[in-house]
Structure 1
């Protein structure tokens, strides 16, 4: 097994729970799929290959999927997202360019370049409308990137999935990237289970964390479950 320290490890189900994206969709994005006679290549290559036939995501895959999913929810086809990723790799120089800090400034031009002509040389006005009239690019991308910390190369290394005020962080260098209480590194799932079984005060004492951290963990895990059931 390859060294997963600092990479993170998620099954499609675990990633889907965090991102509110169907696990099957994540698996198709990373594995590729076939519809009739048409073969669709993966949107990008996963960070992780355990050579057991299963799909896994690393932390960078998680961050890339957030951005790809947002564009698709705004009406951008997976074909155009794939084309944008290919162009962005060349411009930004990163295998997972959508999740980089530089994409914040270059992304609009990248998608407009994809939109300008199709494979037959015809203009695709629909996507141009998406970024020029219906939406502002920053309104799509900024909320997603504001909750992410980037290193000096512009690569994401921490994600605050419920906002920075909750002190819950996803850090691939700790607990294999599972959501944790930022100050103590105790996984939110562990705190929530303990609180639901023994009460907040007992859980806080057992893991030596503030009661506020336990309550936030309970709320965070409950919200993930609500999103999963929706």
Structure 2
């Protein structure tokens, strides 16, 4: 499958590594699954229609998955998460509500509304402890840039503007913002040249940027191992 310019394109494997979760779980969220003699629908409609080659995610799918994964890490059940998404979808008016500008701007108010009367024990405990939005959802919105159409880019090293996933560049694959080379390619260059300094000299890239690219690539391996 090929991605469309400006939407981003990630296989389930690529997306799961970036978000830090199981590929199989991500596929279940996007395609639905059968559980306890019941067919569970997808949590949201992916930006790309699944076909015989599998599932392809857009950039906003990636952001939605990041927030859902944060909730699941706090042991919030999928039934509760599904309710939250459905209620937020109505309020925001978007199939993928968590990755919208409105949710970024008014997220705390929206989340208070969509979680009203949800009585899952883990959720109640979290709401009592300074609020689920501030403690779980808000951190997942950090390092994201938003525009009128929703999330536009994700700065992949917290607090730095060096490594980015931008659907308008390289189909959203992780790259150095300047000079625009993929972090995976940077790792290959360093391996071929034998050192960061040699790679920096040959390809005219600042050593600091190369180290940031390597840091991000190493983090993907750490997330996969976890």
2:224 equivalent in structure 1: 228
Consecutive unaligned residues of structure 1, counting only runs of 5 or more, are none
Kept in 2: contact 1:64–1:96 (CA 8 A): yes
Q: Distance in 2 between matches of 1:104 and 1:132?
A: 22
Q: In the TM superposition, what is the alpha-carbon distance from 1:19 to its structure 2 partner? A: 0.9
Q: How high is the TM-score relative to the length of structure 1?
A: 0.87
**RMSD, aligned α-carbons:** 2.3
1:145 and 2:141 correspond? yes
1:12 to 1:33, Cα distance in 2 relative to 1, 3 A: same
Q: In the TM superposition, what is the alpha-carbon distance from 1:97 to its structure 2 partner? A: 0.5
1:177-192 equivalent positions in 2, closer than 5 A = 177-192=172-187
Q: In the TM superposition, what is the alpha-carbon distance from 1:211 to its structure 2 partner? A: 1.6
2:188 equivalent in structure 1: 193
Kept in 1: contact 2:76–2:122 (CA 8 A): no
Consecutive unaligned residues of structure 2, counting only runs of 5 or more, are none
1:111 to 1:166, Cα distance in 2 relative to 1, 3 A: closer
1:205-216 equivalent positions in 2, closer than 5 A = 205-216=201-212
Q: Which is bigger in relative contact order (C-alpha 8 A, separation at least 6)? A: 2
| Greater mean alpha carbon deviation, residues 32-41 or residues 95-104 | 95-104
Q: In the TM superposition, what is the alpha-carbon distance from 1:215 to its structure 2 partner? A: 1.4
Q: Distance in 1 between matches of 2:225 and 2:21?
A: 12
2:150 equivalent in structure 1: 155
Kept in 2: contact 1:31–1:42 (CA 8 A): yes
